[in-house]
Amino acid sequence: MNKLQNEYQKKFSDKQFVNENVLCGISKNVKLHNELNNVRSSAAACLNVFGYLNQNPKDIIPFFQSIGLQIDEILDFPKNVDVGGEIYDDIGPFVFEWIGPRQSVINERGGSRGQNRTSIDAFLLVKINGKITQLLIEWKFTETYNSETFLHKFGGKKGIERLRRYSDVLASIRQDGFPFDFKDEFNIGLYDFNYEPFYQLLRMTLLAKMTTPLQLNNIKIEDYRIVHLTHSQNEELNTLSETHLKYSPGLKSFIGKSLHSTWNSILNEDEKKKHIFGFWNNSLRCLSENEEKKYLLERYE
């Protein structure tokens, strides 16, 4: 049974969310996804699981432990914190559509939380190995990326601007903290991140690096983790095809490999420790026993 298909998901059309409080606590500054009420919506799935965890924080550590991320403690997100001019008045451990400071630290112009800006699906403050650590989480459900728009992010006129924007950030950390296993000449390069999921991971990584350390009221962020979660049944996303790497010549040898293992191969040894990958639907069984868990398992597992 493929739970990504519309035929299966439409049975939940009369109950899109696990409970009526899932959207509570999200700032009015957030632009929620236009497809939020679509039964196959990734944003709705993310809010269902993490909205549930906002209400049941004791389940957060077991959830992430199941994907191999060991967390010592969950920290409360500070109330009405000013992050470089951006006021976060969200309630709950999870913050949705995180952008960091109001003025982009990765050279993006304009935009806002959830709109025309690198916006992190879910953000969480934790302690790992004694360090206050920000988790930047990307969530995938039914998404596939096969059109030219998603395969050639550095092509065309817009691609020129994207290359300039992010290469300038990478150049600024070339000697200290460069995250990728690039050689001085040839080999894999920035242009190979043409495929949308890699383009997203690039931006997440840069945002994390450029906002660590970061002061949030009396909390000082000292470290970060990038967490990329997909659904185990989304084989078209989880495995790289020849089409996906059409404009990524340095990655041709990874055709047929997994998206997650390929990205891990691109990172340097220090950065590998900061990137966590998993199938979120396989983590639902660790939740506390209740009717909401039954709903989440029936719908997504």
Task: Grade residue 186 by pLDDT with cuts at 50, 70 and 90.
Answer: confident
Q: Three-state DSSP class for 138?
A: strand
Q: What would the pLDDT profile of 112-131 be if each residue is shown by its tens digit?
A: 999 999 999 999 999 999 99
Beta-carbon contacts of 283 under 8 Å, excluding residues fewer than 6 positions away, are 63, 64, 66, 67
Contacts of 51 (CB under 8 A, 6+ apart): 17, 18, 21, 22, 23, 94
Q: What is the pLDDT of residues 156-180, one digit of tens each?
A: 999 999 999 999 999 999 999 999 9
Identify the pLDDT of residue 185.
87
From residue 125, give the alpha-carbon distance in Å to each of 32, 205, 257: 21, 16, 32
Residue 137 pLDDT level (bands cut at 50, 70, 90): very high
Q: What is the pLDDT of residue 280?
A: 98
Residue with tokens 């997203």: 200
pLDDT at position 212, please? 98
Report pLDDT for 203.
Answer: 98
Mean pLDDT on 10-30: 97
What is residue 1's predicted lDDT score, i.e. its pLDDT? 85
% the chain with pLDDT above 70: 100
pLDDT, position 270: 97
Mean pLDDT of the 229-244 span? 98
Contact 6, 39 (CB under 8 A): yes
186 or 36, greater pLDDT: 36
- The answer, yes or no, to whether residue 143 has pLDDT greater than 90, is yes
Dihedral sign computed on CA atoms, order 70, 76, 78, 80: positive
Rounded Cα distance, 121 and 134, in Å: 13
According to DSSP, the residues that pair with 86 across neighbouring strands are 83
- Residue 182 pLDDT exceeds 90: yes
pLDDT in tens, 47-73: 999 999 999 999 999 999 999 999 999
pLDDT band of residue 136 (cuts 50, 70, 90) is very high
Mean pLDDT of the region 84-103:
98
Task: With cut-offs at 50, 70 and 90, classify the pLDDT of residue 22.
Answer: very high
Please measure the distance between the N-terminal and C-terminal CA atoms of the chain and give it in whole angstroms.
10
